Amino acid sequence: MNLNRIVSRLRNAGLKLTPQRELIISTLLASGGPLTAREVLKSVRKTQPRISFDTVYRNLAVLSEIGVVNRINLKVRFNSRFEIADDHRHHLVCLGCGEVRPVNLCPFQEVAVGLEKDKPFRIVGHAFEIYGYCAGCDAFRDPGPDPDRNGYTAERKRQSEAEVLKKWGGT
Binding site residues, DNA, CB under 7 A = 10-11, 14-21, 36-38, 48, 50-55, 57-59, 61-62, 75-77, 79-80, 152-155, 161-162, 165, 170-171
User: Shortest Cβ distance from residue 49 to a copy of itself (Å)?
Assistant: 26
**Residue from the set 133, 140, 160, 164 that interacts with a copy of itself by CB under 8 A:** 133
End-to-end CA distance of the chain: 29
124 binds, among a copy of itself, DNA, none (CB under 5 to 8 A by kind): a copy of itself
Element (H, E) at 83: strand 81-84
In whole angstroms, give the CA distance from residue 147 to residue 160.
22
The one-letter amino acid at 105: L
- Counting Cα atoms < 13 Å in the Cβ hemisphere of 136 gives 11
**Among residue numbers 74 through 93, which ones bind a copy of itself (CB under 8 A)?**
74-77, 80, 92
Considering beta carbons, is residue 118 or 155 the nearer one to DNA?
155
**Residue from the set 38, 101, 158, 167 that interacts with a copy of itself by CB under 8 A:** 101
Confirm if 28 and 43 have CB atoms less than 8 A apart: no
Task: Calculate the alpha carbon distances from 45 to 41, 48, 56, 82, 124 in Å.
Answer: 6, 5, 10, 17, 31
Residues that bind a copy of itself (CB under 8 A): 12-15, 61-62, 65-66, 71, 73-77, 80, 92, 94-95, 101, 103, 105, 107-108, 110-112, 114-115, 119-135, 138, 144, 146, 148-150, 152-153
